[in-house]
Amino acid sequence: KFNTLWLCVILTKKIGCHLWELSTMIPKKVKTFPYPYIIEHRMLSGYKSKNNIKDSYRLLKLQEGCSLDDVKNSFTNLAKQYHPDSGSITADSTTFVQIEEAYRTVLSDVAKKMKSSESENEEETKFKSKAPQHRQYLSFEGVGFGTPSQRERQYKQFRVDRAAEQVMEYRKQKLESQYAMNAMIAKDIRQSKKVKITQAIDRLVEDLIQESMAKGDFDNLSGKGKPLQKFSYCPHIDPMTHNLNRILIDNGYQPEWILMQKEIRETIEELRKNIVASRNKLGEPMTPCRQKQWSQICEQLIEDIKKLNKRINDFNLIVPILNRQMVHFNADKEIARAQAAYEILMEKTKSIDVDTKENEQEKVKIFRLKSSFLKWINLMLK
């Protein structure tokens, strides 16, 4: 039976080939069967499958839109499995009949889809042949691709997107111009206020000078009517700048960073003296109450050191010379320094106490000797 089946298949293929050769001799208008595979698979008969198209695809383990080669390969593999004469374990005549019906249904569906796609391509080529090639892209601003209807939809979407972008760009420009205008107005207001304040200060100073001149406060100045004293010449800076600096120095002016440096040094010295005095005040031995007081004093010192270090940061930002910058103070080192100073002071006090005791003992001895000597003289005189 299996050999008979293959003989039928070979004869069918040969008949299909002969029909294909005859079809080439018929004009295109007379041809009614443009696809040889339809003749090959007996689609000329009026057979209608009872299976649904989706069930047929599912039975052949295919998806819609597959090619003709995929259909043939799938049917061949399933025929090897389920044909009654295949000799396989899964051979079943009922299943094979269903597979064959599904195969015919899928073949007809694929042929219809291929025919419809070719007709669409022919219509598009006909439309393109009516107009020159370059005129097809003059419409829709050259946007899109495909058929005219597809290009029209793409052009509408393009116009919507372009309009949205233009609206966003307009709003952005409007907000930027409004922000720039507000910034310019605020800047003008600040500048006008600054000018008014400067002019008011200048008028006030001028009024005070004129008032003092009217009262005669400038009549008794030393060096009135005499030229200014010549200052030492410095070739590295402008003479006017040098003279102004000399005037400021003579009148006790000091730069900000010098005053800040002096303030930092005085503050750290005061903190050191205070913590040493507090430790001396607590004394020895360190009871729990005194230890608690010492902890509070150390916490306060840590807070003061933090504030002083912030002040040092400000000083390092304004100091003009790099090697004049200062480093931060460490609270733990300051506490250890105060403790060491206290121990040194205690050793000195102990040595002083020892010396005073020895002096007192010597004075007592001398007093006893004098008293005993006086007693002996009195006895001798009697």
Answer whether residue 380 is part of any domain.
Answer: no
- Mean pLDDT taken over the chain: 77
Contact 148, 127 (CB under 8 A): yes
Single residue among 109, 138, 167 that ends a domain in this structure: 138
One domain, residues 58 and 185: no
Amino acid at 134: H
Same structural domain for residues 147 and 132?
A: no
CA distance 17 to 39: 9
Nearest in space to 278 (alpha carbons), one of 258, 299, 254, 261: 299
Burial class (CB in 10 A: 0-12, 13-18, 19+), 110: buried
pLDDT score, position 35: 40
pLDDT of residue 51: 56
Residue 373 lies in a domain: no
Residues 186 and 306 in one domain: no
Rounded mean pLDDT, 304-321: 93
Q: What number is the average pLDDT over the span 56-69?
A: 83
78 domain residue, yes or no: yes
Q: Please indicate, yes or no, whether residues 169 and 188 belong to a single structural domain of this protein.
A: yes
User: 145 and 118: one domain?
Assistant: no
pLDDT in tens, 78-113: 888 888 887 788 888 888 888 888 888 888 888 888
Question: Higher-confidence residue: 273 or 142?
Answer: 273
For residue 294, being part of any structural domain is answered with yes
Is position 259 within any domain?
A: yes
- The continuous run of DSSP H or E covering 9 comes out as helix 2-24
Residue 382 forms part of a structural domain: no
User: pLDDT at position 370, please?
Assistant: 81
> Looking at residue 47, what is its pLDDT?
45
Print the domain residue range for 160.
139-218
Shared domain check, 285 and 213:
no
Number of domains in the chain: 3
Asked if 110 and 18 sit in the same domain, the reply is yes
Q: What is the pLDDT of residues 196-233, one digit of tens each?
A: 788 888 888 888 888 888 888 777 777 677 766 655 66
134 shares its domain with 153: no
| pTM for the predicted model, two decimal places | 0.34
Q: Does residue 22 sit within a domain?
A: yes
133 and 160 belong to one structural domain: no
- The three state secondary structure string of 241-264 is HHHHHHHHHHCCCCCHHHHHHHHH
* Residues 34, 107 within the same domain: yes
Residues 123 and 146 in one domain: no
List pLDDT tens digits, range 171-184.
999 888 888 888 88
Query: For residue 350, is it within any domain?
Result: no
Element (H, E) at 164: helix 148-215
